[in-house]
């Protein structure tokens, strides 16, 4: 995760070109193309953030979508907004709702990219700010609650050997507690 900043303009870097499978190449971290793509995606979110379905549709209809790995750019921009310090621009739930709509509209690619991003954030969680940690827990548990709580938990088995106060087991524990609350609510309805 790299953050570049100058004159209060920050770019969040989660992916590089090696993270994307074959197909269009992700522009380099310092390339003007990447900044322009991000700026356009941020403006779409700004314009449509109150209407999750419209926002997701407009994000997926990005004009140059065939020339870039669009799903990677979208996920990176949404996480940049969600994890922005000191607070995100919009309500945290808005970003979660947009990501859910994106997964519904693009089921062949978006869930895999989102899972890859989740894995990358989880691997770097020990250096994550506490506020970002909490937002990540909130988003992930909300996302799981909308997809039948399915996740490949066995990939994170190595956390069982860590101290319980380490950020990774703590993340899993807090996510599970939130998921139990969501599941309890669903059983009550």
pTM: 0.89
Helix pair 52-60, 70-82: axis angle to 10 deg = 140
What would the pLDDT profile of 84-142 be if each residue is shown by its tens digit?
999 999 999 999 999 999 999 999 999 999 999 999 999 999 999 999 999 999 999 99
What would the pLDDT profile of 6-42 be if each residue is shown by its tens digit?
334 567 888 888 888 878 888 888 889 999 999 999 9
Nearest to 140 by CA among 89, 99, 80: 99
Element (H, E) at 155: none
CB atoms within 10 A of CB 117: 20
CB atoms within 10 A of CB 125: 18
What would the pLDDT profile of 33-70 be if each residue is shown by its tens digit?
999 999 999 999 999 999 999 999 999 999 988 899 99
Which residues, at least 6 apart from 29, have a Cβ–Cβ distance to it below 8 Å?
2, 4, 11, 13, 16
Domain ranges of the chain: 2-188
Nearest to 150 by CA among 141, 138, 137: 141
Can you give the pLDDT at residue 189?
A: 47
Determine the CATH number of domain 2-188.
1.25.40.180
């Amino acid at each position: 995760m790299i953050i570049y900043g100058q004159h209060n303009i920050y770019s969040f870097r989660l992916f590089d070109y090696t993270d994307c499978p074959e197909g269009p190449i992700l522009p380099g971290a310092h390339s003007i193309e990447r900044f322009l793509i991000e700026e356009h995606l941020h403006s779409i979110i700004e314009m449509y953030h109150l209407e999750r379905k419209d926002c997701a549709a407009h994000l997926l209809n990005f004009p140059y979508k065939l020339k870039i790995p669009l799903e990677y750019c979208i996920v990176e921009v949404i996480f940049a907004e969600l994890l922005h310090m000191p607070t995100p621009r919009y309500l945290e739930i808005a970003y979660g709702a947009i990501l859910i709509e994106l997964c519904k509209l693009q089921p062949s690619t978006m869930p895999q990219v989102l899972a890859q991003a989740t894995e990358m954030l989880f691997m770097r969680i020990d250096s994550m700010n506490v506020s970002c940690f909490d937002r990540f827990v909130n988003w992930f548990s909300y996302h799981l609650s909308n997809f039948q709580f399915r996740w490949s938990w066995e990939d994170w088995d190595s956390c069982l050997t860590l101290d319980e106060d380490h950020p990774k087991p703590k993340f899993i524990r807090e996510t599970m507690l939130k998921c139990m609350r969501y599941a309890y609510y669903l059983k009550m309805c």
